[in-house]
């Protein structure tokens, strides 16, 4: 999957994202759901498990930068 195809996809946090933490998100791609290592775009936000996020940058093969979309 190319970088541009990931940008804008929504995902759910499955491992807390925050300063000094490598989080994890599950994103629906390629007809299924896959886990990606996740970092907050601003580098200071803490995003808890269960929050819905949007992918703003994809770093192949398995890392993404995300921003909070809304709370669930």
Tokens of 48: 């808890």
What are the domain boundaries of the chain?
A: 3-70
Cis peptide before 61 (omega within 30 of 0): yes
Residue 72, pLDDT above cutoff 60: no
Model confidence at 71, pLDDT cuts 50, 70, 90, reads low
Residue 44, pLDDT above cutoff 50: yes
Tokens of 12: 């759910």
pLDDT mean across residues, the chain: 92
- List all residues 6 or more positions away from 5 whose beta carbon is below 8 Å from its beta carbon: 29
According to DSSP, the residues that pair with 53 across neighbouring strands are 11, 68
Mean pLDDT across the stretch 24-45?
94
Model confidence at 19, pLDDT cuts 50, 70, 90, reads very high
Tokens of 55: 């992918």
Its CATH architecture, for the domain 3-70, is Beta Barrel (2.40)
Residue 22, pLDDT above cutoff 70: yes
């Amino acid at each position: 999957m190319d970088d541009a195809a990931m940008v804008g996809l929504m995902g759910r946090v499955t491992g807390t994202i925050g300063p000094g933490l490598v989080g994890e998100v599950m994103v629906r791609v390629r007809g299924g759901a896959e886990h990606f290592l996740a970092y907050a775009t601003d580098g200071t936000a803490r995003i808890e498990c269960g929050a819905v996020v949007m992918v703003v940058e994809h770093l192949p093969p398995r890392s993404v930068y995300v921003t909070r979309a809304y709370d669930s």
